Structure 1
Amino acid sequence: MKDYKKYYSIPATPDEIYMALTNPITIELWTGEVAEMSTEPGSEFSMWEGSITGKNLEFEPGKKIVQQWYFDGQSDNSIVTIKLHADKQGTSAELRHTNIPDDDFDDLVDGWNNSYFGALTEFFEGE
Structure 2
Amino acid sequence: MKNFKKTFHINAEPSDIYAALTNPYTIELWSGYPAQMIAEPGEEFSMWEGDITGKIIQLVPDKKVVQEWYFGETSEESIVTINISPMGGASVVVVEHINIPDDDFENIVEGWVEYYMGAIRRFYNPNF
- TM-score, scaled relative to structure 1: 0.97
Letter in 2 for 1:109: V
Distance in 2, Cα, partners of 1:8 & 1:37: 23
**2:111: which partner in 1?**
111
In structure 2, stretches of 5+ residues that fail to align are none
Alignment map for 1:16-95 (pairs within 5 Å): 16-88=16-88, 90-95=90-95
Distance in 2, Cα, partners of 1:79 & 1:57: 9
- RMSD over equivalenced CA pairs, Å: 1.2
Q: Offset at 1:72?
A: 1.5
In structure 1, stretches of 5+ residues that fail to align are none
Letter in 1 for 2:20: A
1:97 aligns with 2:93: no
Distance in 2, Cα, partners of 1:92 & 1:126: 18
Q: Runs of 4+ in structure 1 displaced over 6 angstroms? A: none
SS at match of 1:46: strand
Cα-to-partner distance string for 1:95-119 (whole Å, 9 max, x where unaligned): 1100000010000000000000000
Distance in 1, Cα, partners of 2:20 & 2:54: 18
Cα-to-partner distance string for 1:48-103 (whole Å, 9 max, x where unaligned): 00000000000000000000000022121000000001113600001110000001
Letter in 1 for 2:51: S
Distance in 2, Cα, partners of 1:126 & 1:105: 28
Q: Offset at 1:39?
A: 1.3
Q: Offset at 1:38?
A: 1.5
Distance in 1, Cα, partners of 2:2 & 2:39: 27
